[in-house]
Amino acid sequence: MMGASESDHRVTEYRDVSFAYPEAKPALSKVDLGISRGEVVLVLGGSSSGKSTLLRCANGLVPHASGGTFSGTVTTAGRSTLELKPRDFADVVGLVQQDPEAHFVVDEVERDIAFALENLGMDQSEMRRRVEEILDALDIAHLRHRSPATLSGGEKQRCAIAGALASGPDLLVLDEPTSQLDPQGADDVLAAIGRLNTDLGVTVIIAEHRLERAGSLADCAVMMAEGRITQCGKPADVIASYPGAPPVTHLGLLLGWDPLPLTVRDALIAARSQPLTLKPAPRTTAEVSRGDVLVAARGVDVALGGSKAISDISLELAQGEVLAVMGRNGAGKTTLLKALAGLATPARGSVEAAVRCAYVPQDPNSLLFSATVRKELEETLRLLRRPDDGSVDGWLASLGINDLADRHPRALSGGERQRVAIAAVAVGGAPVLLLDEPTRGIDAPSRDALEIAIREHAATGGAVAIATHDVELAARCATRVAILAEGEMVAEGDARKILAGSLFAPQVLRVLPPFMTVGDVKTALGQ
Amino acid sequence: MPLGGGKSQCGTRHVSDTQLPDGLRRVPWLADLSTCTSRDRSAGSAYSCGSAPDSHRLPPFGRSQPTEPHTTSGLRVTADAFDIRPMPDNSSTIDTRSTWPAQVWLAWAVSAAAVIQLAPSPVYVALVIALSWLIAELFGRQSGMALAYPVILTIGASLALVRVLIAAATAHGSGAVIFTTPSFTVPRVLGGFTVGGAVDSTVVATAGAEAFAILGIIAVFAAFNTAVSHYELIQSAPRAFHELGVVVVLAVAIVPSTVMAITAANEATRARTGGSQLRRRRLLHLTLPVLETGLERATGLAESMDSRGFARRSASRSDALSAWLGLGALILAGCALIALVGSAQLAAAGLFTSALAALIGAVAAASAGSKRTLYRPRRLTHLDWIVIALVVLAPIGMAVAAGLDLAGASSLRWPKASLTWPEFAPLPALLHLLLLAPLLALARGNR
């Protein structure tokens, strides 16, 4: 990837690039990177490691749109990003950001795809042909006359990729394109990216957390930490040392499998070739003591916009419990949590709460407005007229954000904002915490800190309900699981029993049943 | 474990094709996915590994979900989980295209607004509002902009109410007094008028009728905004205005997204306190997140537009010529105004004509310099022209009817002082019905 003889084949090349945002520590530090034509490069790293900054350098958004101090050179398709503006790279770089909402300019998919072509002054007949090709390449021809506002998350992101691809760029830059998506939408997008690379030879650089899928797409991976490239090589090797590696990779590391698996399929092959006999002594969630019922929904219907969002839901949440509410997008997870929090009024049935229930919305931005993270937490105490008995520092520490206490919440990464929002709600001391998609788009250390905080909150007499698509989170944290579909409860019960079902199985269970997590296997090994 | 029956580890019974209840559909490719959870899954069927639950996965490319229902009984619980499509079945029929070209809707909106100006009697304004509602219902597009319809109407109603309240508090007539409020006279330097006092029925009626007309025009705009494709509207404008038009349309699009952001912020604040409403600093809790979210979204959109080549071309000779012509138009218009003040009407007319010509030249020069091309510009058909002609006929007919007094002198305007019910005449009402010309699309089978 870095050989000098390959420079002619390189689509983009970073030479000694350093960059710092205004009044901030360096986001990139002496980065050298070359990406050859047809490659898929996976960029890994925790929150604020410099992934987005690295990607935004490819077409000059950094430094032209960001300001700050830039040194070194980035050359894409033979053009220097210092000499030209991002709009001058529209024909050679396609950029897709985390939030697909921020991408759409025109409220019709087909015309939005053509937006870049109109700007480039392309001939009408050529433009028409190009749009048709892109619609077919991404399998979105049936969405051509839809408004982006009516699309699902996965459809939006595929349409955004189509808009970025329309100009026939040499390089497609994807900044965590699946971070806002449910698993179905994410799979959809990653499958489309794989096809673009395989069938059309599009060069891709992608920052991504869903490594079980992205890892198998990539030709090479780059690990970033504190603005530096700390590792660069084959995806399996780089991912192996990354805390956010898929559970099967951690399992492979634990059991010494070679090659390390990235997918369940690889892991099954490894497990077959290297059989292992373990005494099944897995963690049993049923052992968790169940205290008093803190909140209960009894036959609850909630209607939104004239149609039932949830129907005839009965549920109890008791002390010491962590309930994972699962189901596809639109199944009614958020509505159920809002009903438990008293934010959605039942049309039928009742919600009985013995204690205060606090709800953390999916989008942390709607909650954050204070000047610093610490003030954000203190604001909750002030609103509730409660003194700070150390709970602010306690929640800052338990969610691993005490280093960020004096930062502006809006200056943080998405994962950090999510943790600040959870801390800002939890600090109020509500015994029941209702978390809506808390791990969406957050990195592995953030997720680990969150899981510990959730378990501690439940262990100290509280209860937590999590609406999530993350089956691994449910496997590690939940004592009970409820599965919703079309607003109805389709299954509810002990987490182990529900997750062991064929549809919601965590990775480790698929490979080494009855173990659910790497921790279970580790325990069985006596480590 | 295949889905052909049997019992899973969680005790939920799987159902076979023949066990699904009425109306529930089975997803055949899911049978492949289910094998992923089994230890003896064949290595050849590589689809679907990883942590995502299978019920969240899409079928492999090229395999679609069947639509035929199954007719036997079974566990609804399990079968429901198989129906994985996130969008309703009619999702592919959601079409954001406008039924008529932007020019037709523009003609409709201008004609409807002109009709209100020519016949501001509340009975006819009510008719236009009803027609606008019908148009919005029948031709409203499935787009984010359409969300603004109730917002715009609410703003219009609020403005109308404020108009009535201000008139009632500050204007005093000779009609019947409805009630009396405490009054005070503002200092002379601020106008010296009296606020409060006797609230006069004639004043309230007059203000009410005027406010109703304003609401009518806003209702027309709201329906136009819902029905028209804004991008087609930009395309139909001279090229010089395209980039400016995109910016304006994006600015208008902020209305619905801001409404949603306000709702989210309000809910988040209640969530923070465990459901109780804030009393102190509520505005701060609402405003700051909405503003900051809006700014972040605007920044993201600007970066996206920049990355996709918006405003890419550099200044050309045509732009320089356009700038000079624009400056010339401004100077000539200023001179025309001075001439008008000086009662040199002939010179004023000449100067104004020259300013107009310079302005047209500036737009033409700027358009010629634009290299931006248009994707699938919509051309007007014969039927489009017929609809335009019919809707334009409404205000023309109304003007003729008013000029020739065909509808009765007091029919089009309401004599407020008498406080009688407004008159209704058939001819103006029939002319109003021309505004329903877009319904020809129904006959054409467009909707």
| Residue A455 covered by a domain | yes
Cβ contact A485–B83 (<8 Å) = yes
pLDDT at B351 over 60: yes
Q: Which of B327, B342, B369 is the last residue of a domain?
A: B369
The reply to whether B402 falls in a domain is no
B109, B88: one domain:
no
A378 in B contact zone (CB under 8 Å): no
Q: Same domain for B302 and B321?
A: no
Higher local confidence (pLDDT), B24 or A414 = A414
| Whole-angstrom distance, CA of residue A101 vs CA of residue B300 | 9
Whether residue A120 and residue B309 make contact (CB cut-off 8 A), yes or no, is yes
Q: Are residues B233 and B139 in the same domain?
A: yes
Same domain, A444 and A369: yes
Least CB–CB distance from A146: residue in B94, B273, B375: B94
**Do the Cβ atoms of B375 and A88 come within 8 Å?**
no
A-B contacts (CB, under 8 Å): 328
Residue B346 CB neighbour total at 10 angstroms: 8
Q: What pLDDT is attached to residue B275?
A: 61
Task: List strand residue ranges (DSSP E) for A176-306, in order.
Answer: 203-207, 220-225, 228-233, 293-304
Q: Is A5 on the interface with B (CB under 8 A)?
A: no
- Could you tell me how far CA A467 lies from the centroid of its own chain? 14
Report d(CA A16, CA B56) in Å as an integer.
Answer: 43
Answer whether B376 sits within 8 Å of A114, measured CB to CB: yes
Residue A342 near chain B (CB below 8 Å): yes
End-to-end CA distance of chain A: 39
Are residues B190 and B301 both part of a single domain?
Answer: yes
Q: List CB contacts (< 8 A) between B265 and chain A.
A: 366-367
Q: How many CB atoms lie within 10 A of CB A224?
A: 23
Q: Is residue B267 part of a domain?
A: yes
Rounded CA separation A95/A97 (Å) = 7
Q: What interface predicted TM-score (ipTM) does this complex get? A: 0.81
- Residue A468 φ/ψ, nearest 5 degrees: -155, 155
The mean pLDDT value for B267-274 works out to 76
What sign has the CA pseudo-torsion A519, A522, A526, A527?
negative
> What's the mean pLDDT in B309-332?
86
Residues of A347-378 as b/e, b for ≥16 C-beta within 10 angstroms?
A: eebebebebbbbbbbbbbbbbbbbebbbbbbb
Closest CA to A333 of A434, A204, A439, A215: A434
* Residue A506 structure tokens: 């965590």
- What's the pLDDT band for B229 if we cut at 50, 70, 90? confident
The whole-number pLDDT of residue B63 equals 32
B182 and B64 in a single domain? The answer is no
| The predicted structure's pLDDT at residue A43 | 95
Residue at a domain's end among B73, B93, B113: B93
Residue A195 shares a structural domain with residue A296: no
Residue, of B51 and A306, whose pLDDT is higher: A306
| B275 to A103: CB separation less than 8 angstroms, yes or no | no
Residues of B in contact with A383 (CB under 8 A): 272-273, 278
Provide the pLDDT for residue A288. Answer: 54
B260 pLDDT more than 70:
yes
Q: Are B80 and B121 found together in one domain?
A: no
Task: Give the Cα separation of A377 and A57 in Å (integer).
Answer: 35
Q: Please check whether residues A469 and A348 belong to one and the same domain.
A: yes
- Tokens in use for A91? 């024909």
Name the residue type at position A309: A
Within-domain flag for B419: no
Task: Classify residue A278: in a domain, yes or no.
Answer: no
Closest by Cβ to B51, choosing from A95, A367, A472? A472
Separation CA A12–CA A43 (nearest Å): 15
Which residues on adjacent β-strands are paired with residue A298?
A350
A232 and A296 assigned to the same domain = no
Q: What pLDDT is recorded for position A103?
A: 85
If asked whether residues A78 and A223 sit together in one domain, one would say: yes
Is residue B426 a part of any domain in this protein? no
In a domain, B346, yes or no: yes
Does residue A393 belong to any structural domain of this protein?
yes
Q: Are residues B67 and B193 in the same domain?
A: no
Q: Is the pLDDT of residue B219 over 90?
A: yes
Q: Considering the domain boundaries, does residue B421 fall inside one?
A: no
The pLDDT score that the predictor gives to residue A4 is 46
- For residues B237 and B372, give the distance between their C-alpha atoms in angstroms, rounded to a whole number: 13
Q: The tokens of A356 are what?
A: 């205060």
Q: Is the domain of A235 the same as that of A352? A: no
**Domain hosting residue B21, numbered range:** 17-93
pLDDT at site B62: 32
Q: In what order do the strands lie in the sheet with A293-304?
A: A307-318, A293-304, A348-353
For a pLDDT cut of 70, what percent of chain B falls above it? 72
Looking at the domain assignment, is residue A315 inside a domain?
Answer: yes
Q: Tell me which chain B residue has its CA closest to the CA of residue A431.
A: B274
pLDDT surpassing 90 at residue B294? no
Do A173 and A298 have their domain in common?
A: no
Q: Say if A523 falls within a structural domain.
A: no
DSSP B24-59: ----HHHHHHHGGGSTT--TT-----SSS-GGGPPP
Asked whether the beta carbons of residue B39 and residue A268 sit closer than 8 angstroms, the reply is yes
Q: What are phi and psi of B202, to 5 degrees?
A: -65, -40
Nearest neighbour of A369 by CB, restricted to B10, B289, B371: B289
- Asked if A457 contacts A479 with a C-beta cutoff of 8 angstroms, the reply is no
Q: Do A497 and B11 touch (CB under 8 A)?
A: yes
Please list every residue in chain A whose beta carbon sits closer than 8 Å to the beta carbon of residue B308: 87, 90, 105, 115-116, 119, 163-164, 167
Residue B107 has pLDDT above 90, yes or no: yes
Positive or negative torsion for Cα A57, A60, A61, A64: positive
Q: What Cα–Cα distance (Å) separates residue B283 from each residue in A424, B268, B286, B290?
A: 19, 13, 5, 11
Q: Is A312 on the interface with B (CB under 8 A)?
A: no
Q: Is residue A126 part of a domain?
A: yes
> pLDDT band for position B371 (50/70/90)?
confident
**Full DSSP string of A322-333:** EEEEE-STTSSH
Structure tokens at B385: 């022209």
Same domain (yes/no): A213, A305: no
- The residue type at B177: V
- Which residue in chain A has the smallest CA separation from B268? A367
Residues A312 and A229 in one domain: no
| Nearest one of A372, A419, A375 to A395, comparing CA atoms | A419
Residues B48 and B162 in one domain: no
Spatial separation of the C-alpha atoms in residues A170 and A184, rounded to whole Å: 28
Q: Are residues A177 and A42 in the same domain?
A: yes
Inside any domain, residue A260: no
Structure tokens at A339: 């009903």
Handedness of CA A422, A423, A425, A431 (dihedral sign): positive
Are B189 and B281 members of one domain? Answer: yes
Q: For chain A (length 527 residues), average pLDDT per consecutive 10?
A: 58 95 89 94 89 94 92 94 93 88 86 92 91 89 86 83 90 86 78 86 89 87 94 90 90 89 89 78 54 91 82 93 88 90 90 90 82 90 85 89 88 84 90 89 83 91 91 90 91 87 78 87 82
Q: Are A208 and A245 in contact (CB under 8 A)?
A: no
**Identity of residue B255:** V
Per the structure, how many domains does chain A have?
2
The CATH number of the domain holding residue A60 is 3.40.50.300
Domain count, chain B: 3
Question: Facing residues of B180 across strands?
Answer: B198
Residue A67 in contact with partner chain B when CB distance is under 8 A: no
Question: Which chain A residues have a beta carbon less than 8 Å from that of B31?
Answer: none
Q: Is residue B63 part of a domain?
A: yes
What is the per-residue burial (b if ≥16 Cβ within 10 Å, else e) of B34-68?
Answer: bbbbeeebeeeeebbbbbbbbbbbbbeeeeebeee
B124 plus B227 within the same structural domain: yes
Q: Are residues A206 and A105 in the same domain?
A: yes
Q: pLDDT confidence of B242, banded at 50, 70, 90? A: confident
B74 pLDDT band, cuts 50/70/90, is: very low
Test B271 with A356 for CB contact under 8 angstroms: no
CB-CB neighbours of B180 under 10 Å:
10
Would you tell me which residues 454-473 of chain A have a C-beta closer than 8 angstroms to some C-beta of chain B? 469-472
Domain residues for A118?
4-241
Residues written for chain B: 447
* Same domain? A234 vs A371: no
Q: Is residue B440 part of a domain?
A: no
Are residues A453 and A479 in contact, defined by beta-carbon separation less than 8 angstroms? no
Q: Which of B258, B289, B307 is the last residue of a domain?
A: B307
Give the count of beta carbons closer than 10 Å to the beta carbon of residue B19: 19
B295 plus B332 within the same structural domain:
no
Q: Across the interface, do A105 and B86 touch by the CB < 8 Å criterion? A: no
Whole-angstrom distance, CA of residue A94 vs CA of residue A84: 16
Whether residues B142 and B227 fall in one domain? yes
Closest-CA distance of chain A to residue B387, Å: 24
